[in-house]
Amino acid sequence: MNNSRFFKKGFRAYYLLVVSIIILTIAIQSITQYSLNKQRGTAMLVNLAGRQRMLSVRLLAESYTCRYDNCNFAEFKITLNKLVEMHTMLQTGDKRLGIPKLDDERILAQFAKLDSHVNWLRWNLGNVEEMTQVHQNDIRYRTNRFIELMDDIVLQFQKKSENDIKGIRIVELELAIFSVVIVLFEIFFIVNPIINRIFSQKKKLEEIAWHQSHVFSSHMKNIADLQYVLKVEKRQERRDEILAFISEEIDKLKGVSDAMLRALSKDGSHKNPHHQIMAKMEQLLAKRSKNQSSVTDDDKVHS
């Protein structure tokens, strides 16, 4: 009974250990994947913001070309549209590209400063007739201001990315420390007690095996020899002595049995094989004593 309860507790503790390790592994992997996705998204934002600077420089160069050389207004228009679309997408996000909506107030404030320059470029450079009427210095000023503001936005994106990564790393470190604490707790308070109990049970079983192979077997051999002598002995006095010896051996067997029970720490309700053997021997001894008493009574009657 005690052993069965022990093993049930041991299995529950083992399952708890396995489940906790699985949960911690899943949590660490989830945070790691979240960190990687966060870094990937931030890197994309930084690249797109850097591309805005490149588009503004290209827009200025193509405006020179259209003013002083052969103008490919279609390419110019594509560059302008990309710049305007990217300006909106960096603020509102894009589910298709996995870009979240911008929620940083400082970066949004910088984009608000950009709105006037982007709108000016879109309305004044939207068609070739209006573009030729705009002074080149105005275009240069707008693009330069756009580049300056975008440099600050890119820097803000990089700082935001570093802060996010730092926060995620702190969470990962805390989770790693928590995992180590959990594992150490389970080792010292679950695994070690189970191992110690197993070694204790092994020691008890070795002690029982020694009793079984030496002491118990020796007494059983003595009882078997005495039983054989009892069968061939005819004199009543000798038979009584032999029965007394058998009774003494049975008492010794009881002592051995009690020692085995103490070693195993089981309750008395559990019947082991040697208990059954001792019960049979006691029944046999009681039966023979009864027969001897009946024979003695018959002899008295005849006399």
Query: For residue 291, what pLDDT is reported?
Result: 63
Query: For residue 279, what pLDDT is reported?
Result: 59
Residue 270, pLDDT > 60, answer: no
Give yes or no for a contact between 112 and 55, defined as CB atoms under 8 angstroms apart: no
Query: What's the whole-number average pLDDT of the chain?
Result: 76
- The partner residues of 99 in beta bridges, in order of sequence, read 94
Q: How many CA atoms lie within 13 A of 190 on its CB side?
A: 18
Give me the residue label for tokens 């702190």: 170
Q: Among residues 207, 183, 196, which one has the least CA distance to residue 256?
A: 207
User: How many whole angstroms from its chain centre is CA 250?
Assistant: 56
**Which of residues 152 and 37 earns the better pLDDT score?**
152
Query: For residue 272, what pLDDT is reported?
Result: 47
Q: Please give the domain boundaries of the chain with CATH numbers for all domains.
A: 2-192 (1.20.120), 197-293 (no CATH)
Give me the residue label for tokens 């089981």: 266
Confidence class for position 2, pLDDT limits 50, 70, 90: low
> What is the spatial distance between Cα 80 and Cα 83, in angstroms, rounded to a whole number?
5
Cβ density class 10-36: b for 16+ within 10 Å, e for less: beebeeebeebeeebeeeeeebeeebe
Residue 12, pLDDT > 50, answer: yes
